[in-house]
Structure 1
Amino acid sequence: MSTLPLTHKQLKIASRCDGVVSKVMQYTRQGWPNTVPKAFKCYWTRRNEVTIEAASLLWGTKVVISETCRDRILTSLHESHPGIVRMKSQTRSYVWWPGLDKDIEKLVKSCDPCS
């Protein structure tokens, strides 16, 4: 996580302010309901793999990133223009969020040096 452009404190604050991530953290602590709204489905299917460590939501060893931090992380990891395959691999090593692959594809396809 040291290669991410955000500190642990910034990620923690963003997670607390993100309605979806904060609710997933609540479900993780207190137990998941049998049904969840659509916004939580991708987390619900991973509910047995989601944990909280040091006030951060994790899926396995990957930090779950709140929506407000995603662009900053993608922009930082894309600075060297690694291409779509390498960028997916690098990003997946550290973080996760719903639609991560699509967000990477969209960014790389809109980048002239990478196209």
Structure 2
Amino acid sequence: TWTHADPTGVLQVTWQRLFKDDSVENLATYSKRFGAQIIDPHRGKVVFTEASLNSTSITVKNVTWADEACYICSFNVYPSGSIRKQTCLTHRYKHSWSINYPALE
């Protein structure tokens, strides 16, 4: 779960997957106007565990090697811009997955 202490000015929350070549793919968004939206083709694979303008989390179901990546949560705040947080899903052992929560500034 990622949180943004002050939801004032938050227009939308977006989840993206960051690839090794630094390209990104949109997975899901939440806004007051449109609610929680999972982008095709991720419906059924990605679900919102929590969706609001100040707190959000997603679950990636049935994790495979293809899901190993960093995931970005962006709070799109007016007028200051985007506030991004990132977590990485990595495969460590034969039957073990781990999530890395890097220190945030």
Structure 1-normalised TM-score?
0.26
Structure with the higher fraction of residues in helix conformation:
1
Structure with the higher fraction of residues in strand conformation:
2
Structure 2-normalised TM-score?
0.28
Q: Which has the larger radius of gyration?
A: 1
